[in-house]
Amino acid sequence: MAGTKSLFVPGPTNVPDDIRRAIDVPMEDHRAPDLPRFTLPLFADLKKIFKTETGQVFLFPASGTGGWEAAITNTLNPGDKVLAARFGQFSHLWIDLCQRLGLDIQVVECDWGTGVPVSVFANILAADTQHKIKAVLATQNETATGVQSDIAALRTAMDAVGHPALLYVDGVSSIGSVDFRMDEWGVDLAVSGSQKGFMLPAGLAIMAASQRALEASKTASMHRCYFDFKDMIATNATGYFPYTPPMTLLRGLRASVDRMLGEGLDNIFARHNFLAEGVRRAVAAWGLEICAKGPEWYSDTVTAIVVPEGFDANAVIGRAYHNYGLSLGAGLSVVAGKVFRIGHLGDLNELMLMSAIAGAEMAMRDEGLSVEAGSGVAAAQEFYRLNQRVSAIAAQ
């Protein structure tokens, strides 16, 4: 097929040309005497993305899952009790990781299409008067279902009951795309990945730890080696790494952070909300439902669209890919075959996203769904057109 394939999965996302050029450099000496002039400012600027002044940033050559493992193994002890909710594939995988690592995990089962059950968590924590629960796990953006949770409300609830548990946040598909305030929300471990809002290829677990988490790491007894904070802290202080770092990705990360700070985080968040709303208008015009069960759960980085009973979402995805060169996200686990996903995060604008809406619409019609031709395109188009001033202001 001629032309460029259109990538609208919720990660990996499009890599902008300036970031691709930053990555495409000759190999370099990762022990060079002048390397700290590059790495130390990068660490400092990454703290701005996490909105932390007191936390420490870590860059591990890994996916977000590696970041999860680093967060857990550096701060907890075998058999520690942790609290988590399962409401999508990625919150499930975090729970699975904790179980494999030998933690005692209390799981709150939720409808897929909802998010962190703040009031339920608050009641559980209030009842834990002996403070046996050492950590609370929260997925800010559940990529599988297009659900965004309120981390600020969770922190408020934890403070209201006076519980000292550490707060861990999976921000893989949220940090750098939607509002995240590590210090203000009292987040102790925050994990992200390079292939989402940071607009890079996969390969970097980008994370930050609070001073409370760093203190916990001094006595945590879970086994770790490659992911040990202690080794990173010692070498990062001088601008180096305890093992060979992926320098091309770090060069790309520098370009990515420059791009993000240049646009301004608040403008990035406004742009993502604006683009997401256009997709939601398209879904409504198609007469379909969003997997997220209410506006309070709507994600600004990915929308999971439910196909009607009797239709296969995977067939829509296959048709979009083979007929139109469009990659849409598949439903996972419980929602496999029931939803397809449009990712709308990273380096995107209205016209780019319109192509995904148009392609999805054609694929659904090809598969026999009762979707009026042009309905979703028109709804998104009118929203973007009539609100373009908001978009223009956000881009300045």
pLDDT tens per residue, range 48-85: 999 999 999 999 999 999 999 999 999 999 999 999 99
Q: List the alpha helices (DSSP H) in 134-218.
A: 151-160, 211-217
In this prediction, residue 119 has a pLDDT band, given cuts at 50, 70 and 90, of: very high
Q: Are residues 241 and 289 in the same domain?
A: no
pLDDT digits (tens, 9 = 90+) for 179-224: 999 999 999 999 999 999 999 999 999 999 999 999 999 999 999 9
Q: Which structural domain, as residue segments, surrounds residue 358?
A: 264-395
How many angstroms separate the Cα of 54 from the Cα of each of 155, 177, 188, 261, 283?
18, 22, 11, 19, 42
Q: Nearest 5°: phi and psi at 224?
A: -160, 155
Q: Are residues 252 and 278 in the same domain?
A: no
Domain stop point among 212, 240, 262: 262
Q: Is the pLDDT of residue 394 over 70?
A: no
Residue 4 pLDDT: 86
pTM: 0.96
Q: Are residues 108 and 210 in the same domain?
A: yes
Q: Is residue 1 part of a domain?
A: no
Q: Are residues 56 and 187 in the same domain?
A: yes
| Alpha carbons 393 and 390: distance in angstroms, whole number | 5
Collapse the DSSP code of 268 into the 3-class scheme (helix H, G, I; strand E, B; otherwise coil) and give the result: helix
Which CATH number belongs to the domain containing residue 48 in this structure? Answer: 3.40.640.10
Domain stop point among 262, 290, 311: 262
Q: Are residues 375 and 306 in the same domain?
A: yes
Q: What is the total count of domains within the chain?
A: 2
Which CATH number belongs to the domain containing residue 313 in this structure? Answer: 3.90.1150.10
Domain stop point among 247, 262, 277: 262
Q: Are residues 225 and 76 in the same domain?
A: yes
Q: Are residues 33 and 165 in the same domain?
A: yes
For 319-347, what is the mean pLDDT?
97
Q: Are residues 175 and 290 in the same domain?
A: no
In this prediction, residue 13 has a pLDDT band, given cuts at 50, 70 and 90, of: very high
